[in-house]
């Protein structure tokens, strides 16, 4: 069995990449939510889009800064 | 504290790589735990859906939602790593091998779950419908396995190098077990964070 | 007793509306003819290729017409704004599910008979001995498709993009039914007795039971709209 | 008019997405009493009726019909209410008789063909009994849905714009029917945004504005223009 390091690296790399992407998305949303809550009570918090599926992340809408 | 646990788990999951002798078989240490963790995720999803239907408790619905998301990600990665592993082993990216096929169907089924959740605006209705779908899908899993298994093995002997063979020398089993625990922890951590985010979102709009 | 009467009333109403408006039936009849021509053009003359592909093609026809029929299950309620009426009828809502299921089954079996008839005539296949076994497999397969199909039709009735969502939700769940029916049909058409496909038939029966029980138990949660 | 209220709404709040349509509504209707629920479009009249009809769950607060909570005992509530809403719940491809028979059977009512015929006669549809409902006018469809409600002999009637689209003669006739229901001890809650003569049926007027009951007063001798003035005063002030 030839030693295909490339494939092993690809598999591990992909797994780590997707997990990292999901982890960072959660963190981004949490920060976004905190900013909106901390921002001001009157603005209507823009409901962040439903999280997209793996593999082909939907284009995130540009997060508008809530109107002051 | 939870974030530290998260990073610990990530490092932990990759650690066993050095233990075994280098060859492509080592993808199994990621491929198998991913698939098993996704089964765990879909199991939790089904139970949470049942709890939601009985007690209409939004917490259960959030758990089902989060578990579904992480589950779809895990099973998607499981399929990807499985086919990456298949390339050198069988020379093709994809074979309709019994295990890979049923896992692929699982992926599409629960992708539908996320799609349904994304389509319905009213959170209460989305929770109800997704709970029903979660239960139907979970009950369907054994049927999918049986039908795919019979479909494959009755006509073509199981592929020579059956990926993810659980038997194996202890040197294979030990790192596999370690990784399994690592991915289960990772699942729990990601779901916990996603549930917290969902609760925060719900409070922001209530 | 009123449970059965209420289920029958729903089934009767659906079939009466269908008989008079003929909307779905016309669409399905036209669709099966279309299917036949498409397969005729692609498969054309040579017999071996046809025999090899026939089970798949036949069930593809059945499944596609099932999707059309099932997708419209709650169309009449939605168009005439009767959904709330169904919901407010006191008593166990699963009677409504059974009524809708019966209506769907009747419609699908009629169309399947038509598709099968057209295939036999146009591709001059002699079903001969395989017919009884085939009827069992078709009946069980149709019940499997209709039981979950009716539940999912209720779920996607007033959701946007329902024409897309309904097949996407239904087909993956129906893989066991699709595999079992196509494989069983293939064996039967090769002349094997029903006994040879007993395991597929058992799977179909198990699947139908699971789908029916789950649908009956969860239908009123879905109907809540 | 017996005393204990059949319809009881206490501090009901209903939020759609981010918009609080109802924000603490409290209202009671006794048996044999009719309350006209006035309010601009979108004030939440239909939402309140739907909550009472067990079609919508309140975000907060409780509502009950004859002591049965709409969220915990929906089946008990559904057996007591008659709903005449925008959608008249009619299947166009069925005849009037078939529609009534269907709804009666679905409601588990033990109605025979003669009860159906009597109900149709009661609403003046005996001649059109076997015509397809597709050919009916809005007024005739309204009559048919009222016939359906009458079959169930409800203790509560929830009406959403019952007089909309009716000609003068049909309005007069409907008023008589509603009076008959009241006389039989049923409680009526009627959402409307017109101040015409048909308010004559109402014993009380409740103005829904800003998500709350801004005014709840006996109709007494108030003419249409008094009602208009009262409504204008209360509706604007609370917006």
What does pLDDT average to over chain D?
A: 84
Ranges assigned E (strand) in D120-226: 156-160, 187-192, 204-209, 212-218
Cβ-defined contact of C84 to D55 (cutoff 8 Å): yes
Q: Does C157 touch chain B (CB under 8 A)?
A: no
Q: Can you read off the two tokens belonging to residue B90?
A: 């069988």
- Find the CB nearest B118 among A29, A30, A50: A50
pLDDT at position C115 over 60: yes
Asked if residue D130 and residue D112 are part of one domain, the reply reads yes
Cβ-defined contact of B132 to C175 (cutoff 8 Å): no
Instruction: Domain of residue D128: give its range.
Output: 88-153
Minimal Cα–Cα distance from D18 to chain B, Å?
6
Cβ-in-10-Å burial (0-12, 13-18, 19+) of A68 comes to exposed
> Which chain B residues contact residue C222 at CB under 8 A?
128-129, 132
Least confident of B7-16, B180-189, C37-46, D143-152: B7-16
Q: How many domains does chain D have?
A: 2
3-state secondary structure of B148: helix
Query: Which stretches within chain C are classed as H helix?
Result: 2-21, 23-43, 47-71, 75-79, 83-88, 94-122, 130-156, 162-173, 175-189, 198-223
Cα nearest neighbour of C79 on chain D = D91
Give the per-residue pLDDT at B6: 61
B50 Cβ partners below 8 Å, 6+ apart? B131, B135
Q: Can you read off the two tokens belonging to residue B103?
A: 């896992």
Cβ-defined contact of C91 to D53 (cutoff 8 Å): no
Please, which pLDDT band fits residue A7 given cuts at 50, 70 and 90?
confident
D145 Cβ partners below 8 Å, 6+ apart? D84, D88, D89, D90
Do chain C and chain B touch with ≥3 beta carbon pairs under 8 Å?
Answer: yes
Asked if residue D158 and residue D148 are part of one domain, the reply reads no
End-to-end Cα distance, chain D: 34
**Distance between CA B148 and CA D200 in Å, rounded?**
70
Give the per-residue pLDDT at B2: 60
Assess contact for B138 and B42: CB atoms under 8 A: yes
Q: Does D17 touch chain B (CB under 8 A)?
A: yes
Minimal Cα–Cα distance from A49 to chain B, Å?
9
Per-domain boundaries in chain B: 25-158+169-205
pLDDT in tens, A28-67: 999 988 888 777 554 444 444 444 444 444 334 334 333 3
Asked if residue D190 and residue D115 are part of one domain, the reply reads no
Assess contact for C93 and C10: CB atoms under 8 A: no
Assess contact for B139 and B71: CB atoms under 8 A: no
Strand order in the sheet with D81-84: D81-84, D156-160, D187-192, D34-38, D204-209, D212-218
pLDDT in tens, D175-230: 888 888 889 889 999 998 777 766 778 888 888 888 888 888 887 766 667 767 76
Give the per-residue pLDDT at B8: 60
**Distance between CA B127 and CA B116 in Å, rounded?**
10
- Find the CB nearest A18 among B10, B73, B193: B73
Assess contact for B11 and B58: CB atoms under 8 A: no
- At which of D153, D168, D198 does a domain end? D153
Q: Does D130 touch chain C (CB under 8 A)?
A: no
B–C CB contacts, 8 A cutoff, strictly below: 75
Do chain B and chain D touch with ≥3 beta carbon pairs under 8 Å?
Answer: yes
Assess contact for C1 and D78: CB atoms under 8 A: no
Cα nearest neighbour of C180 on chain B = B147
C125 Cβ partners below 8 Å, 6+ apart? C54, C119, C189
Please state the rounded mean pLDDT for residues B4-28.
59
Residue D216 sits in a domain whose CATH number is 3.40.50.300
- At which of D105, D130, D153 does a domain end? D153
β D81-84/D68-69 pair status: unpaired
pLDDT at position C117 over 50: yes
β D60-65/D5-16 pair status: antiparallel
Give the residue from D91, D157, D161 with the most C CB atoms within 10 Å of its CB, the best one to mutate: D91
Q: Can you read off the two tokens belonging to residue C129?
A: 């001995």
D195 Cβ partners below 8 Å, 6+ apart? D38, D224, D225, D227, D228, D231
**Distance between CA B8 and CA B17 in Å, rounded?**
16
> Which chain D residues contact residue B58 at CB under 8 A?
none
C–D CB contacts, 8 A cutoff, strictly below: 72
Q: Does D106 touch chain C (CB under 8 A)?
A: yes
Assess contact for C166 and C156: CB atoms under 8 A: yes
Least confident of B143-157, D49-63, D76-90, D220-234: D220-234
> Which chain A residues contact residue B204 at CB under 8 A?
33, 36-37, 45, 47
Minimal Cα–Cα distance from B56 to chain A, Å?
21
Q: Does C1 touch chain B (CB under 8 A)?
A: no
Asked if residue D162 and residue D178 are part of one domain, the reply reads yes
Asked if residue D137 and residue D71 are part of one domain, the reply reads no
Give the residue from B42, B46, B112, B122 with the most C CB atoms within 10 Å of its CB, the best one to mutate: B112
Please state the rounded mean pLDDT for residues B88-94.
80
- Find the CB nearest D57 among B121, B124, B205: B124
Asked if residue D118 and residue D21 are part of one domain, the reply reads no
- At which of D111, D136, D153 does a domain end? D153
**Distance between CA C152 and CA C167 in Å, rounded?**
9
């Amino acid at each position: 069995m030839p030693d295909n390091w490339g494939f092993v690296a690809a598999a591990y790399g992909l797994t780590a990449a997707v997990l990292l992407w999901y982890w960072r998305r959660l963190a981004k949303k949490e920060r976004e939510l905190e900013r909106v809550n901390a921002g001001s009570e009157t603005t209507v918090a823009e409901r962040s889009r439903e999280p997209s599926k793996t593999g082909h992340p939907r284009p995130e809408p540009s997060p508008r800064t809530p109107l002051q | 504290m939870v974030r530290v646990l998260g990073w610990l788990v990530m490092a932990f999951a990759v650690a066993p790589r050095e233990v075994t002798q280098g060859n492509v078989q080592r993808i199994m240490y990621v491929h198998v735990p991913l698939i098993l963790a996704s089964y765990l995720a879909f199991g939790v999803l089904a139970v949470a859906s049942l709890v939601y239907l009985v007690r209409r408790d939004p917490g259960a619905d959030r758990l089902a939602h989060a578990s579904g998301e992480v589950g779809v990600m895990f099973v998607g990665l499981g399929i990807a790593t499985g086919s990456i592993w298949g390339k050198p082993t069988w020379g093709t990216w994809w074979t309709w091998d019994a295990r890979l096929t049923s896992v692929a169907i699982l992926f599409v089924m629960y992708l539908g779950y996320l799609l349904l959740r994304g389509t319905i605006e009213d959170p209460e209705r989305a929770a109800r419908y997704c709970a029903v779908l979660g239960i139907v899908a979970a009950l369907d899993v054994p049927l999918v396995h049986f039908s795919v298994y019979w479909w494959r093995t009755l006509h073509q002997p199981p592929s020579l190098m059956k990926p993810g063979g659980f038997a194996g020398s202890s040197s294979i089993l030990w790192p596999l077990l370690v990784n399994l625990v690592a991915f289960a922890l990772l699942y729990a951590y990601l779901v916990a964070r996603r549930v917290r985010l969902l609760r925060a979102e719900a409070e922001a709009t209530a | 007793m009123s449970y059965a009467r209420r289920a029958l009333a729903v089934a009767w109403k659906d079939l009466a509306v269908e008989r008079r408006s003929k909307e779905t039936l016309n669409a399905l009849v036209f669709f099966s003819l279309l299917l036949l021509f498409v397969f005729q053009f692609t498969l054309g003359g040579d017999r071996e290729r046809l025999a090899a592909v026939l089970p798949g093609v036949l069930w593809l026809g059945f499944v596609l017409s099932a999707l059309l029929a099932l997708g419209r299950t709650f169309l009449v309620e939605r168009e005439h704004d009767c959904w709330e009426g169904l919901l407010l009828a006191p008593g166990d809502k699963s009677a409504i599910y059974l009524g809708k299921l019966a209506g769907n089954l009747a419609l699908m079996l009629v169309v399947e008979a038509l598709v099968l008839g057209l295939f036999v005539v146009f591709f001059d296949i002699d079903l001969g001995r395989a017919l009884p076994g085939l009827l069992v497999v078709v009946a069980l397969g149709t019940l499997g498709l209709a039981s979950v199909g009716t539940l999912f039709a209720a779920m996607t009735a007033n959701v946007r993009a329902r024409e897309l969502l309904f097949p996407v939700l239904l087909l993956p769940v129906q893989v066991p039914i699709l595999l079992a029916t196509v494989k069983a049909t293939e064996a039967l058409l090769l002349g094997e007795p029903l006994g040879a496909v007993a395991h597929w038939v058992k799977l179909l029966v198990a699947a139908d039971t699971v789908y029916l029980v789950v649908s009956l138990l969860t239908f009123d949660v879905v109907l809540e709209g | 008019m017996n005393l204990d209220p059949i319809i009881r709404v206490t501090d009901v709040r209903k939020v759609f997405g981010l918009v609080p349509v109802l924000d603490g509504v409290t209202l009671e209707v006794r048996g044999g009493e009719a309350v006209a629920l006035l309010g601009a479009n979108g004030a939440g009249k239909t939402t309140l009726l739907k909550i009472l009809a067990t079609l919508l769950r309140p975000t907060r607060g409780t509502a009950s019909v004859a002591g049965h909570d709409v969220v915990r005992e929906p089946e008990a509530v559904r057996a007591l209410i008659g709903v005449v809403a925008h959608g008249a719940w009619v299947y166009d491809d069925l005849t009037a008789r078939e529609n009534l028979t269907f709804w009666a059977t679905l409601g588990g009512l033990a109605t025979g063909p003669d009860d159906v015929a009597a109900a149709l006669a009661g609403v003046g549809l005996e001649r059109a009994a076997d015509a397809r409902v597709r050919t009916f006018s809005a007024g005739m469809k309204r009559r048919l849905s009222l016939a359906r409600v009458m079959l169930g002999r409800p203790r509560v009637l929830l009406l959403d714009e019952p007089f909309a689209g009716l000609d003068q003669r049909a309005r007069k006739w409907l008023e008589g029917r509603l009076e008959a229901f009241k006389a039989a001890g049923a409680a009526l809650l009627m959402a409307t945004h017109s101040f015409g003569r048909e308010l004559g049926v109402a014993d009380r007027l409740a103005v829904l504005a800003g998500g709350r009951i801004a005014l709840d007063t006996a109709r007494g001798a108030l003419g249409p223009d008094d009602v208009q003035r009262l409504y204008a005063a209360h509706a604007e002030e609370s917006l």
